[in-house]
Amino acid sequence: MTLSIETPALLFSATSLILLAYTNRFLTIAQIIRNLKKNYDDNHNKSILLEIKNLNLRLTLIRYMQLFGVMCLFLSVFAMLLLYVNKENLGIYLFGASLLCLLISLGISFWEISISVNALRVHLKDLSEESKEED
């Protein structure tokens, strides 16, 4: 099997965009947590604590998503360097490792999105129960 130096370079744009999306998720969740914390300080509502706990798990997952995304980029660059200095076999293995890191990052991303969707469904369920009580 041969691997040209351009192949690992293909991960650059994809990984950069994924890392940007992960950072945006992180910033959004951080802002929500700040608002919920302020709301909790005012109301001491137990459901707010549960939401913050859920969001804290999501922040942890995003941190790991970012970690594996950065490792993907690092290993891809290192694979390119090895290919440049004619160490093709080692470059191929490192490129494979970078792809594995990307898969792990995307898998964790799917997990985080699932948690988010479930939390939104809980909110929607509360709304539908309130509308039934009003009828």
Q: What is the pLDDT of residue 131?
A: 66
Closest by CA to 83, choosing from 104, 66, 98, is 98
d(CA 6, CA 80): 8
- Distances in Å between the Cα of 103 and the Cα atoms of 18, 36, 40, 72, 109 are 12, 32, 37, 9, 10
Query: Between 63 and 121, where is the model more confident?
Result: 63
Q: What is the pLDDT of residues 23-42, one digit of tens each?
A: 999 999 999 989 988 988 88
pLDDT at 134 over 80: no
How far is 73 from 22, CA to CA, in rounded Å?
Answer: 14
Secondary structure (DSSP) of 15-61: HHHHHHHHHHHHHHHHHHHHHHHHHHHHH--HHHHHHHHHHHHHHHH
φ, ψ dihedrals at 130, nearest 5°: -65, -40
Of 86-90, 109-113, 116-120, the one with minimum mean pLDDT is: 116-120
Query: Is 25 in contact with 75 (CB distance < 8 Å)?
Result: no
Assess whether pLDDT exceeds 90 at residue 50: no
Q: What is the pTM of this model?
A: 0.82
| Structure tokens that stand for 29 in this block | 């969740």
- Asked which of 44-48, 51-55, 58-62, 116-120 is least confident by mean pLDDT, the reply is 44-48
